Structure 1
Amino acid sequence: MKKHNIIHVILTGGVGSRLWPLSRKSRPKQYLEIFEGKSLFELTVERNSAIADKVIVVGNTDNCHLSRAILEKKNVPYLDIVESTPRNTAAAIAFAALAADPDDILIVTPMDHIIEKKELYDEAVNEAIQKALKGHIVTFGIVPTKPETGYGYIESKGENVLSFREKPNLETAKNFIAKKNFLWNSGMFCFKAGVLLDELKHFQPKVYKKAKKVWEHNQDGKLDLDLSLEIPSISVDYAVMERSKKIKVIHSQFLWSDLGSFESVYDYLLSKGHPVDENGNMVIGVQNFTAFIGMKNTILVATENANLVLQKEYSQDVKDLYNELETQNSELLN
């Protein structure tokens, strides 16, 4: 396969509500330069630059300028698809596939992952490309290291997918781990553009038809709002992955975290030498002397106009606070 037929598709939707107040609508988590001076978006581009020589970014009007600035700084050839309204991942991926040639191999990744052991990542991607060339739609399962409740799971038998599972409670997650054939669902995919579109057309003809119409009316990658609102909002998991007979899963051994919560950010920063006190308390975002008395595993997140204090194990609850601020139409989200 010629290298130029491999396209890296980056989905940049989402505001990172569980990382408020660091993550704001004007600068979502994927653009925060808190990972050794780089952002998650920049790390995602770098990680795949040797595999693909073209990038398609599917983003929105709020973040497209942030993506462009990084891609232009790194001198990466790219196509920018700007959604006027979010229509979930089935439509986002369909736009990228429609922008490519049917035989192009697309490697689809979110932009909020930290991945280490890159040699194992490269192995997994190359294996996925080989399967995609044979007409399979490949998903990347991560061999789990603990019973994680923040991720979806893939039940597998070898390379075959038995089922996709939603984020479980702790007891269910422990059962998954004990069975040894469950993988974390990374949300990464690899396929021929035409194969994915054929499956979408078969299982979700309305999504396919409406997305195609929107793409045909794009203006330099910008998508029409009124036409976009006609697209059913559905994830690619529900639309295709859970229904297609062409799905294969790769058991990936690289180290992976989706950095979707302050607990995962805490663990990552700790692994990079970020200071904590003797009780595991951490400060993010400010250099001021901070003392924690009578607290353990507490995170202080400081920004210019909002601070957050939380115990690490309650990280998933930040989303509830974000939603509450959203109902108040708070300027603290901007």
Structure 2
Amino acid sequence: MENKNSITHVILTGGVGSRLWPLSRKSQPKQYLDIFNGKSLFEMTVDRNRNIADKVMVVGNIDNCHLSKKVLEKSNTSYIDIIESTPRNTAAAIAFAAFASDPDDILVVTPSDHIIDEMQDYEQAINEAVDKASNGYIVTFGIVPTKPETGYGYIERKGDDVISFREKPNQVSARDFIAKGNFLWNSGMFCFKAGVLLEELKAFTPEVYEKSKLAWENNSSGNLDLALSMDIPSISIDYAVMERSKKIKVVSSKFGWSDLGSFESVYDYLITIGHPVDENGNMVIGTNNYTAFIGVQDTIFVHTDTANLILKKEFSQDVKNVYNALEREKSDLLN
């Protein structure tokens, strides 16, 4: 449907993807890896929203803004660049995007590292969200779950009203959610008028609002000052606004979606595009060298020049522990 408001696609690219180490590093986070059909997830995110938005805005950080630039220049896309000097979680990142916009601009906020299929369903969901956003609601996108996934947060809803947001559940709760039938995966995508989001942020977490505003007002061509940024509380938009505001609506969406947050979800996705596995479900990522698996099944071998990872697929959430241990040692292997 025609919308009179300007629509901006805001891409959040701050994440490091610690559960995809060693593929994902600080110098080359997962959204820039070319392992998904020869295009990076970031590039796919830009492409899929081209015909939806009038403007593109990228909220990144000093470590990765040059990687975003390379992708956007390749396709000749002009964009508004917001460069964080230090990660301050999604509340601040989204606040910067809203401060950089006119209050009536509609922002469609998406992470840069998700896989989305069934574009017709996706565009329908976006149109529905833009419609609700025009009427002053803050819209979150919930995905109809296909399995009791424990790696995602959930949205409990009645129609398009949100009853509650739930953290990542354990296996028992996840099965319970699926059985109840009114729970959706929380996709981490949002749509709202910039001014409405800022009003709600100011009402519920005034400190994030004030300190983000100060940092934004002192930006130098999109670059944010480190000292001012450090003052901003590091909290998620879910906690800052979504779980508190009375203006939240949810669009229930059926498009294929994965946040590729773990090697298990990467494995599932790679299988759908024909990536080879052996007869015991073992997979190699990152090398074409002949690799034989003996006596193991559902095992993933991840190869990079400086580090290898071997894991059973169902333990993919535990990769974070390796990452955290290396971080404590200040290891070069994270860079």
Same fold (TM over 0.5): yes
| Distance (whole Å) between structure 2 residues aligned to residue 3 and residue 48 of structure 1 | 18
Equivalent residues in 2 for 1:17-166, closer than 5 Å: 17-166=18-167
| Distance (whole Å) between structure 2 residues aligned to residue 5 and residue 175 of structure 1 | 41
Aligned residues with identical type, % of pairs? 72
Note if 1:217 corresponds to 2:218. Answer: yes
Partner SS for 1:10: strand
Paired residue type of 1:296: Q
Q: Which runs of 5+ in 1 are unaligned?
A: none
| Distance (whole Å) between structure 2 residues aligned to residue 276 and residue 90 of structure 1 | 40
Paired residue type of 2:295: G
- Work out whether residues 3 and 52 of structure 1, in 8 Å CA contact, stay in contact via their aligned partners in 2: no
| Distance (whole Å) between structure 2 residues aligned to residue 43 and residue 22 of structure 1 | 18
- Work out whether residues 98 and 215 of structure 1, in 8 Å CA contact, stay in contact via their aligned partners in 2: yes
The Cα shift of 1:105 comes to 0.3
| Distance (whole Å) between structure 2 residues aligned to residue 73 and residue 142 of structure 1 | 32
Paired residue type of 1:181: N
| Distance (whole Å) between structure 2 residues aligned to residue 13 and residue 170 of structure 1 | 29
Q: TM-score, normalised by structure 1?
A: 0.99
| Distance (whole Å) between structure 2 residues aligned to residue 19 and residue 309 of structure 1 | 12
- Work out whether residues 94 and 208 of structure 1, in 8 Å CA contact, stay in contact via their aligned partners in 2: yes
| Distance (whole Å) between structure 2 residues aligned to residue 76 and residue 5 of structure 1 | 17
**Deviation per CA, 1:133-155, whole angstroms, max 9, x where unpaired?**
00000000000000000000000
Note if 1:13 corresponds to 2:25. Answer: no
Aligned to 2:260: 259
- Work out whether residues 83 and 223 of structure 1, in 8 Å CA contact, stay in contact via their aligned partners in 2: yes
Note if 1:228 corresponds to 2:234. Answer: no
Aligned to 2:174: 173
Aligned length: 334
| Distance (whole Å) between structure 1 residues aligned to residue 4 and residue 156 of structure 2 | 32
- Work out whether residues 122 and 255 of structure 2, in 8 Å CA contact, stay in contact via their aligned partners in 1: yes
- Work out whether residues 4 and 54 of structure 1, in 8 Å CA contact, stay in contact via their aligned partners in 2: no
Aligned to 2:287: 286
- Work out whether residues 5 and 106 of structure 2, in 8 Å CA contact, stay in contact via their aligned partners in 1: no
- Work out whether residues 19 and 261 of structure 1, in 8 Å CA contact, stay in contact via their aligned partners in 2: yes
Q: TM-score, normalised by structure 2?
A: 0.98
- Work out whether residues 92 and 212 of structure 2, in 8 Å CA contact, stay in contact via their aligned partners in 1: yes
Paired residue type of 1:250: V
Partner SS for 2:124: helix
| Distance (whole Å) between structure 1 residues aligned to residue 42 and residue 92 of structure 2 | 21
The Cα shift of 1:2 comes to 5.0
- Work out whether residues 284 and 301 of structure 1, in 8 Å CA contact, stay in contact via their aligned partners in 2: yes
| Distance (whole Å) between structure 2 residues aligned to residue 273 and residue 87 of structure 1 | 38
The Cα shift of 1:85 comes to 1.0
Equivalent residues in 2 for 1:296-311, closer than 5 Å: 296-311=297-312
Note if 1:202 corresponds to 2:203. Answer: yes
Partner SS for 1:8: strand
Superposition misfits of 4+ residues, deviation over 3 angstroms: 1-4
**Deviation per CA, 1:96-152, whole angstroms, max 9, x where unpaired?**
000000000000001110000010000000000000000000000000000000000
Partner SS for 2:87: coil
Q: Which runs of 5+ in 2 are unaligned?
A: none
